[in-house]
C-alpha cells in the first residue's frame, strides 16, 4: 500500500491535466510507471471497490495502447500519452433504472454513458453495465447511440442489434464482454486496464 500512497498525488495531478491546464504535467513515462505500480499494489492487497464509488462523470485524460497495437507499432510495452484538450471523451456511470441482474449473480447493475466531442460533432453511446466487486471488473455494452452536429440531432436509437443485446446483457459471462478492470478509484481519479490490455486514467468532472 505504500507504493499506492506515494503514487496517488502524481496520478491525481495527471488526471486533472485535461481539465485544468498545467505548465508542467507529469511525464507520460512517470504516469505509466505509477499506473503499473498501483495496479500491482492493488492486486497484492486485494483492494475491493464499490460501484457507487464510480457513479458520476469522468473525463479520459491518459491512455496507453493495447498489447496488440503496441506490437504492431513497435512501441515499447507501457508507453502512453495524454489526450489533447480539444478531444473531449467522458464516461458517466449511474444506477440501473430498468434492467435487473439475475438473482444468482453477484454483479451490481448500472448504466454507462460514453460522450465524445470533436468540435461541433458529438457522439453519445449508452448501454447496460454490471460491476463485479470481487474482481473490481465493470463489464458493459453500448447498445444505443445519438449523434449531433451543431446541436442538430442526426441519429438517436439502437445500434448493432442493440435492443436484443440489451435484453441479454446481464445473462452473458463477462469473459465474452467488453470490460474495465479497475485498480484505482478515488474521488478525484480512477484508473483501469481494458480487456485489450491498455491502461486508462480518468479525472473527475465536477458538476
pTM of the model: 0.87
pLDDT of residue 72: 44
* Alpha carbons 172 and 165: distance in angstroms, whole number: 10
pLDDT of residue 126: 95
Q: Which grid coordinates are listed for 179? A: 470490460
Q: Mean pLDDT of successive 10-residue segments in the chain (207 residues)?
A: 69 88 85 94 91 96 73 51 91 77 68 93 94 93 94 90 87 91 95 94 89
Q: What angle do CA 40, 45, 47 make, to 5 degrees?
A: 95
pLDDT of residue 28: 93
Residues 6+ apart with CB under 8 A from 75: 65
What does 106-150 look like in DSSP terms, one character per residue?
--EEEEEEEEEEETTEEEEEEEEEEEETTTTEEEE---EEEEEET
Residues 6+ apart with CB under 8 A from 202: 15, 58, 59, 60, 61, 91, 189, 190, 191
Q: Which sign, positive or negative, has the C-alpha torsion 151, 154, 159, 160?
A: negative
pLDDT of residue 54: 96
> What SS3 class is residue 204?
strand
Amino acid at each position: 500500500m505504500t507504493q499506492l500512497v506515494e503514487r496517488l498525488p502524481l496520478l491525481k495531478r495527471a488526471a486533472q491535466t485535461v481539465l485544468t491546464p498545467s505548465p508542467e504535467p507529469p511525464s507520460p513515462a512517470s504516469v505509466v510507471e505509477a499506473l503499473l505500480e498501483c495496479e500491482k499494489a492493488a492486486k497484492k492487497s486485494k483492494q475491493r471497490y464499490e460501484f457507487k464509488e464510480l457513479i458520476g462523470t469522468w473525463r479520459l485524460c491518459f491512455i496507453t495502447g493495447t498489447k496488440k497495437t503496441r506490437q504492431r507499432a513497435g512501441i515499447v510495452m507501457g508507453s502512453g500519452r495524454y489526450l489533447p484538450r480539444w478531444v473531449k471523451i467522458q464516461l458517466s456511470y449511474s444506477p440501473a433504472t430498468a434492467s435487473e441482474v439475475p438473482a444468482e449473480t453477484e454483479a451490481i447493475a448500472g448504466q454507462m454513458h460514453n460522450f465524445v466531442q470533436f468540435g461541433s460533432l458529438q457522439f453519445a453511446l449508452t448501454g447496460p453495465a454490471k460491476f463485479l466487486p470481487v474482481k473490481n471488473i465493470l463489464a458493459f455494452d453500448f447498445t444505443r447511440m445519438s449523434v449531433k452536429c451543431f446541436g442538430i440531432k442526426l441519429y438517436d436509437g439502437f445500434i448493432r442489434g442493440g435492443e436484443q443485446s440489451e435484453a441479454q446483457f446481464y445473462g452473458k459471462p463477462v469473459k465474452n464482454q467488453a470490460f474495465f478492470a479497475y485498480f484505482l478509484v478515488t474521488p478525484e481519479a480512477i484508473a483501469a486496464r481494458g480487456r485489450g490490455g491498455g491502461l486508462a486514467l480518468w479525472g473527475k468532472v465536477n458538476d
